[in-house]
Amino acid sequence: MRQGSNKKKQNQKQKQNQKEKQNKKRKRKNNKKQKRKSLTKQENVSTTSKELTNKQSPLKKKSDNKIKNETKKEKETKQETKKKTQKEKETEKEIEKEIEIEIEKETEQEKEKETKKKTEKKTEKETEKEQEKEQEKETENEKTEKTEKTVKTVKKKTFASLGLIPELVQAVEKVNWVTPTAIQSEAIPWALKGRDIIGLAQTGSGKTGAFILPILQSLLKKPSKFFACCVSPTRELAEQISKDFRSIGSSFEVKVTCLYGGVSLVKQAISLAKSPHIIVATPGRLVDHLTNTGGFNLKALKYLVLDEADKLLTMDFGDEIDFILKNVSRKRTTYLYSATMTNSVAKLQRTSLTKPIRVKIANKWSTVDTLVQQYIFIPEMYKNCYLVYFLNEHLRETSIVFTTTCRDAQLIAILLRTLGIECVPLHGKMQQSRRLAALNRFVSKKSKVLIATDVAARGLDINDVDIVINYDLPSSPRTYIHRVGRTARAGKSGLAINFVTQYDTEYLHAIEKTTGITQTQYPIEEKIVLTIFQRVSKAEKISREQLKESEIKRKKRIARKQKNWKESSSNSQSLYSRSNDRGGRKRKKSSRKY
């Protein structure tokens, strides 16, 4: 687009220059014509004088001789004037030639200036490209140490050929993992050798299997408590990873605990007391247990996994990760997996990994080839109408609808339910129990529509998602890629539909530029869609009223909880002070080690 606009500007400048030259030539010609007219006027005056002399009275006939003499003189003057006019014409021709030569020189100079500007622009662009390439090389050199090795993608292999134990291969076959993905076939052989790994791969590429399998194989050789710890950014992703560990390690009696917020610390402390082999946790809750749960530590940890590292750092978990790294065994192997390699991830790699192997699959910004991406251009006021029509057409397929805010997700869920479309909301303001219930309902296909915010955009391995609908188009292409990554996973096909309003065209162009894919328009007729407009608008009013009522109830519930908590805390403090006054001894902290 920019090249086309630059060409247009250059053509306009050339046309303006040509017009100016033509105007100059016209002015010069007009000046010459005026000079010629002045000369012709003089000649006319001389002719009139002759006529007057011919019309003389008969009394003056005697002075004919005198007149003859005068006519001779006039002839001589005419000849002289002719000579002068010829000389003037010659001088004018010479002047015209000189002017043409000057014009040609000016045009040549202008052309030279334009060529110089073009060459300067080209050189500037080339230098900028060279600088960018040099910067990329420098960053890559900083990110990877001298001992780091870049690995090329290989053809598909079997799990047995990667070096896994036959018992583990059988367990993998039970879970229906037939062939290893590209990231698994590259990372697992290095992991079995005991090397630290940086794994860069797009969503849905099987990153979890790349670190689960080598950890389980080494656990089977030397089992011990608190053998491995996996840190993930979201609760849903932590739950998903723990499920994968349990499903593969069930035949080997592997104990797994999952630690995240929204669940009581006491229950989680009891599960830690049972000495699990593997811990999957969010950063904040893991720090809580390391500081508050007596006897629990990770000083004998063998494996540490930082999954979705770029998400961990963008969600401001930097302090928690620093604390975890300080309180973890230094004699450990570390796996760092991420969709993108940012500067913050590179810094984390330097501090946490030793002599790592870098495994990179696919580009930094890329979507799967089996994904079809289309858009629907919609006026803002008809978005819900188009959504209802589209979902009614695709009721058999499972689909995820992404919104930017929690309120929109809840509102759309109520709207679709009132119109008879079974759906489930998933957002950050929901309680943990309701979140898990919603996910289980969607995974079991009891409801085929999930209305979600970006909480569900990363890490969730939900099988057989046919369609992803971006109800609100994201401003950053990175979040778009992670949203769209929920479909077309593990070689399957998928469809991404983007609702584009008059305010979202810039976002769409940015997404197309980064992904390198120009999206086509989804075929849909506006007249047919607007037939359900009145029904949808009535349902919108009802859903807004219901949402207001639910928000009021929620606020009242929170206020009650806060009151009860204050009363309980004040009572406990008074009891503690009375026991001290009576001389009652303080309870010692349990020295029991988990």
452 burial via Cβ count (<10 Å: 0-12, 13-18, 19+): buried
Cα–Cα separations (whole angstroms), residue 543 to 413, 430, 441, 537, 554: 9, 18, 22, 10, 16
Pairing of strands 467-470, 494-500: parallel
DSSP string over 537-592: HHHHHHHHHHHHHHHHHHHHHHHHHHHHHHHHHHHHHHHHHHHHHTTPPPPPPP--
> Is 261 among the domain residues?
yes
pTM passes above 0.85: no
Last-in-domain residue among 360, 384, 415: 360
Q: What are 499's two structure tokens?
A: 């609702």
The contacts of residue 436 (CB under 8 Å, 6+ apart) are 239
Q: From CA 471, how far away is CA 381, in angstroms rounded?
A: 13
Last-in-domain residue among 549, 571, 586: 549
Last-in-domain residue among 312, 329, 360: 360
> Is 444 among the domain residues?
yes
Could you list the residue range(s) of the whole structural domain that residue 417 is in?
371-549
Buried b (16+ CB within 10 A) or exposed e, 107-123: eeeeeeeeeeeeeeeee
CB count, 10 Å around CB of 255?
17
Q: Do 356 and 426 belong to one domain?
A: no
Q: Do 405 and 334 belong to one domain?
A: no
Q: Do 407 and 510 belong to one domain?
A: yes
- Picking from 70, 71, 93, 74, the residue whose alpha carbon sits closest to that of residue 82 is 74
* 253: Cα separation from own chain's centroid: 42
> Is 21 among the domain residues?
no
Q: Do 420 and 461 belong to one domain?
A: yes
> Is 493 among the domain residues?
yes
> Is 388 among the domain residues?
yes
Q: Do 527 and 388 belong to one domain?
A: yes
DSSP β-bridge partners for residue 498 = 375, 470
Contact criterion met (CB below 8 Å) for 467 and 495: yes
Q: Do 223 and 260 belong to one domain?
A: yes
CB count, 10 Å around CB of 247?
16
> Is 69 among the domain residues?
no
Q: Do 349 and 379 belong to one domain?
A: no
Q: From CA 267, how far away is CA 282, in angstroms rounded?
A: 16
Q: Do 319 and 426 belong to one domain?
A: no
Give the 3-state secondary structure of residue 359.
strand
> Is 325 among the domain residues?
yes
Q: From CA 308, how far away is CA 446, in angstroms rounded?
A: 29
- Please list the pLDDT of the chain residue by residue as tens digits (594 residues): 555 666 677 777 777 777 777 777 777 777 777 767 666 666 665 555 555 555 444 444 445 565 666 676 677 777 777 776 777 777 767 777 776 777 777 777 777 766 666 666 555 556 566 656 555 555 555 444 433 443 333 345 789 999 999 999 999 999 888 889 889 999 999 999 999 999 988 767 788 999 999 999 999 999 999 999 999 998 988 999 999 999 999 989 999 999 998 888 999 999 999 999 999 999 999 999 999 998 899 999 999 999 988 888 877 888 999 999 999 999 999 999 987 777 888 888 888 898 999 998 755 567 778 899 999 999 999 999 999 999 999 999 999 999 999 999 999 999 999 999 999 999 888 888 888 899 899 989 999 999 999 876 555 667 789 999 999 999 888 889 888 988 987 778 899 999 999 999 999 999 998 888 999 999 999 999 999 999 999 999 999 999 989 888 888 878 887 777 767 666 655 544 554 454 444 444 434 333
- Picking from 391, 361, 248, 237, the residue whose alpha carbon sits closest to that of residue 309 is 237
Angle at 369 between CA 364 and CA 370, to 5 degrees: 135
Cα–Cα separations (whole angstroms), residue 373 to 457, 472, 509, 514, 521: 17, 15, 13, 14, 9
Provide the angle, in degrees to the nearest 10, between the axes of the packed helices 505-515 and 477-484: 70
Q: From CA 221, how far away is CA 231, in angstroms rounded?
A: 23
Q: Do 430 and 321 belong to one domain?
A: no
Q: Do 391 and 339 belong to one domain?
A: no
Q: Do 400 and 513 belong to one domain?
A: yes
Q: Do 308 and 417 belong to one domain?
A: no
Give the 3-state secondary structure of residue 396.
coil
The pLDDT tens digits for 46-62 are 555 555 555 444 444 44
Amino acid at 206: G
* 326: Cα separation from own chain's centroid: 33
Which H or E element spans position 166?
helix 166-174
Number of domain units in the chain: 2
> Is 285 among the domain residues?
yes
CATH number at residue 383: 3.40.50.300
